[in-house]
Amino acid sequence: MQYKKMHNSFHFITILAVFFSFCAVFAADAVKEPDYLIEGRKKGLWREVKEAPPTPEIKNKREVFYVELEKFGIKPGIPQKQEEVIDGETVRCYSDAAYQQALANLKGIKAAIAKGAARGAKWIVFPKAEIPICYSSRPNERIFINYSNVIVDFGGATLKVIYDSEKRSPFHLTYDKNTKTYIPSTKPVYTFAGKGIIVADCSNTTVRNVKLIGDKIDRSFKIQAEKAEESTYGIASGGNCTDVVVEKVDVAFFMGDGLTCSSGSTPHVRVGYQMGWKEGNLSPKGKEIPGSGYFRSDFIKVNPESTFYMQGYGYTQGMTGLKKRAYHIYLYDKNKKFLGYVGFVPVLRFFASTKKTAFVRLVVEEEKKDKHSWQMFLKQGKHGENITIRDNYIHHNHRGGMTIGVNDMIITRNKFYNNGVAPDKEHNLPGFEQKGGNPFMTRYHINMEDSQGHNIQVINNRFEGGRLGVAVRGNDFIVSDNEFINTGISFYRMYHVICRNNTIRGGGISSFPYNKDGGYFRNWHIENNTIINGSVNFAGNAPLASFCNNHLTGKLNTAGEIQTFKNNTIVVDVNAGFGSAVNLANIRKIDSCKFTKSPDCTVNNTINLNCKDVENSTFERLKISVKDSVIRNSTLENCSLNFSGTLRLENCTMIRSNYTVRNNYATHPHNSAFFILPWKDGALTLDQCRIKVLDQKVPFFSSNSHQPTESTLTLNNTTVEPAGAVKTNLFQQVDGELK
């Protein structure tokens, strides 16, 4: 078959995570974009992500390993802090004996899980108890679950981390390379960090029914810098994981996140700048050929029969710097003989090497070489995928609720409460601060900032308090049917987004300012959301796909083009948001929308409409600023239109009644003309419209400077009711041309 040039318009983020077996590698075959990818790209989130099946009930007790705590040296009972004198100061801290027992408990839990897995148990069940645990610097002294096909049920047990800010834990250690032993750390005591439970290197594994209490409530925060600590976590999952479930967990008071889901510490193979990029392509047989718009790497040594994936680094983990967010792989044996080719491999999706593979070469489709080598980072292992987080209570964690860094994840039916609050007044604890006392911006319930994944669904959760409800970047993302109270949604650089059926009170939807000059398009569909006392702000001029069927009470600001803006109700509220009440900078068309003013507004709000075409819409009690627009089949009641350029109204009804405007000082009659003409170079046309003047005290047409205008006013087949109004005060200081 003849080699075909890769399709230039292909969006690689919507490609199937193939290569589940070595037969996925083929040699000298055609490269084409499959039909299912084209259709999937149109739908945005092309790949269906399903919630894990419900956890089955125990039917056969022979498949269950019931943990007897005493047999594993686990002793229940949370110890109390005692007074000790440290460096001449009396402080309350845990005894050394308490720490030793906490470590014994940790080792016992780990041993019990290992015992159950070794016996082939499908269930490992702990009794309900309150068990103290602690952090340890030794990697083997952690609750590490790396067993597949098992359900670890803690039976409602409470695992409480014991911690001191002034007294160094006996397990706060550092590895001495000279003596090859662990010795006491010399770092500040309060920097000691760890994780409660680690789930990694496993598949079809469930962790459930546990209450995890972190170190935050044990810290003293006497030193300002301690407020910036963020390195302790409740449950860490994702590294080389597939089909993992975390459910019915109560996790709180960790300094970092309650849950963190990421690829873990998979080893890196080569960083982008080490790959020896040169302009040119590779043939279907792996030979070097010229090719404008392509760059090829050197030979990169890899392990046979292994899996690999590409990620970026820093804030680019989910995308790298590749414009098409994918690359092509050529496989070679130890003698650099060509074995096969794998095309269209998306960032963060894994590929597999064959038994004979010893080297690979990569090809990217780029017009010019990037000085940072597209921020690529080739790693061995798998990015975690198919993770279900459900029915959990995640609350009062210092920095945030959870971090996402895996693919194909469902987050559903969870309650997030007061994560990243500043300060935590409920528990008399300080908020998150950087060194120097400056407030830290990244506080959240769910975060996918510099740790990323694709195909994430956040469905039917409740978020309350905190700064950011959901703050994410990446590729395919759904946030649907959630409730947000005093928090909201923030999108970073996202490609495909479905944001629908969410209720947001006291928060809003916002985005970071990405611009179209970088070829960036926001395939975002913001639909059927209810936002009360909040705001919507889409910064940057990159186009956005659709904003439809939303109900917003608050403020609305868009800097870029919205391609479809339809069936929205915007209730302007001066007490919410930023800048002008409504600022639609570049809307292609406003269709079937309603714009009105909240009865609680204390000023006459202005909306700025940079829209060429308005149809089937209603405007009530608003000051409207437009430029070069056409309004059709719409109703405007008690409005004031200030325009520049040309304004044409076709088949519209304009109603002017006697109504009042309330501000902070008094209630007074509205006294602005309905149409305010620019003093020159303006043209207002009313074609087949209806003017209903119920209040004749204020002119219907006036100039914007109360000076004679040089603009043109054309009334064509337009009626005025009552007819006598045209003889009274319909026009004021309109001395220009009147047709």
Exposure pattern of 647-671 as b/e (b: 16+ CB <10 Å)? Answer: bbbbebbbbbeeeebeeeeeeeebe
- Do residues 653 and 690 make contact, with C-beta atoms less than 8 angstroms apart? yes
Average the pLDDT over each of 76-85, 161-170, 294-303, 389-398 and give the range with the smallest value.
Answer: 294-303
pLDDT (0 to 100) of residue 663: 47
Q: Calculate the average pLDDT of the chain.
A: 82
Please state, in angstroms and rounded to a whole number, the distance separating the CA atoms of residues 13 and 357. Answer: 26
The arithmetic mean of pLDDT across residues 112-125, rounded, is 97
| Secondary structure (H, E, C), 34-103 | CHHHHHHHHHCCCCCCCCCCCCCCCCCHHHEEECCHHHHCCCCCCCCCEEEEECCEEEEECCHHHHHHHH
Return the percentage of the chain with pLDDT > 70, whole number.
Answer: 79
The Cα-based distances of 263 to 351, 454, 595 in angstroms read 15, 13, 46
Alpha helices, DSSP H only, in 341-497? none
- State the number of CA atoms in the 13 A half-sphere of 710 facing the CB: 3
**pLDDT at site 274:** 81
Encode pLDDT of 309-345 as tens digits: 777 665 555 556 666 677 889 999 999 999 998 887 8
| pLDDT tens-digit map of 89-101 | 899 999 999 999 9
> Distance between CA 218 and CA 232 in Å, rounded?
13
> pLDDT for 195-212, tens place per residue?
999 999 899 999 999 999
Residue 88 pLDDT greater than 60, yes or no: yes
3-state helix, strand, coil in the chain (%, to 5): 10, 45, 45
pLDDT at residue 29 tops 60: no
* Neighbouring-strand partners of residue 627: 644
For residue 722, whether the previous peptide bond is cis, meaning omega lies within 30 degrees of 0, is: yes
Q: Name the pTM for this structure.
A: 0.85
- Give the distance from CA 10 to its chain's centroid: 24
8 Å CB contact between 462 and 446: no
| Mean pLDDT along residues 638-663 | 78
List pLDDT tens digits, range 504-539. 999 999 988 777 665 567 888 999 999 998 989 988
Q: Which residue has the tokens 């970071």?
A: 512
Segment 240-263 mean pLDDT: 92
pLDDT at 38 over 60: no
Dist. CA 300–CA 312, nearest whole Å: 17
